[in-house]
């Protein structure tokens, strides 16, 4: 508690505000300031409002990172991020699930491996960003689908979220959301058609 006053006090009464600085503590950087928000829907592709809000936040001066795990077609990858409004970094997978049908992926081991590696590369990038504290908002679009496909480990996501350092919110979107993650959320929004 800080008490401010314009009064001057005599020197002999200064011991009233004696602060003990002899005990030093190892202070650990506190891990989270923002909230975890989950947007769930019964079908894929229903998160245009989340993406719209991220663009608006970037235009208002907040530093936003938007990762679309399962969308692609533009061969972005981590090295070819798109910058919008000067503050929104938008990254899609360099080789994504959405470019192919499920049967084609299952029947082609090289294709399946390439998609998994590209998605996992995005996840490793996200983990670093969640620890960096450099973003005001991070959106992990369709991360739950990547968990369902066993590309990203659910426990790794939980651990990363528990140890995050971000001043703003982390937004997760998907259809089938594990109960452990629902329990971590500060806000859950269900989008209906």
Query: What CATH code is carried by the domain that includes residue 143?
Result: 3.40.50.300
Question: Strand 169-174 to strand 82-84: parallel, antiparallel, or no bridges (unpaired)?
Answer: unpaired
Position 1 in a domain = no
Give the Cα separation of 64 and 57 in Å (integer): 7
> Quick one: which of 165, 143, 116 has its CA closest to 40?
143
Range of the domain at 138: 34-191
Domain assignment present for 10: no
Residue 26 lies in a domain: no
Number of domains into which the chain is organized:
1
pLDDT of 75-129, one tens digit each? 677 888 888 888 999 998 877 666 566 677 677 788 778 888 888 999 999 999 9
Instruction: State which of 19-23, 106-110, 124-128, 188-192 shows the largest mean pLDDT.
Output: 124-128
Q: Is pLDDT above 70 for 156?
A: yes
| Residue 121 domain-assigned (yes or no) | yes
Q: Does the residue 7 lie in any domain?
A: no
Does residue 140 fall inside a structural domain?
yes
């Amino acid at each position: 508690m800080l008490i401010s006053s314009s009064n001057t006090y005599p020197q002999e009464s200064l011991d009233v505000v004696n602060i003990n600085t002899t005990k030093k503590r190892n202070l650990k950087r506190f891990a989270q300031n923002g909230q975890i928000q989950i947007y769930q829907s019964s079908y894929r592709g229903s998160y245009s409002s989340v993406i719209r809000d991220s663009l608006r936040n970037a235009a208002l001066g907040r530093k936003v990172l938007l990762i679309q795990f399962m969308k692609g077609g533009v061969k972005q990858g981590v090295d070819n991020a798109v910058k919008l409004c000067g503050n929104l970094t938008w990254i899609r997978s360099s080789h994504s699930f959405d470019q192919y049908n499920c049967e084609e992926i299952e029947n082609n081991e090289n294709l399946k491996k390439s998609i998994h590696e590209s998605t996992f590369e995005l996840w490793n990038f996200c983990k670093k960003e969640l620890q960096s504290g450099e973003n005001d908002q991070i959106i992990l679009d369709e991360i739950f689908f990547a968990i369902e496909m066993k590309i990203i480990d659910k426990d790794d996501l939980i651990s990363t979220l528990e140890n995050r350092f971000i001043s703003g919110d982390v937004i997760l979107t998907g259809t089938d959301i594990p109960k452990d993650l629902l329990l971590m959320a500060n806000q859950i929004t269900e989008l209906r058609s």
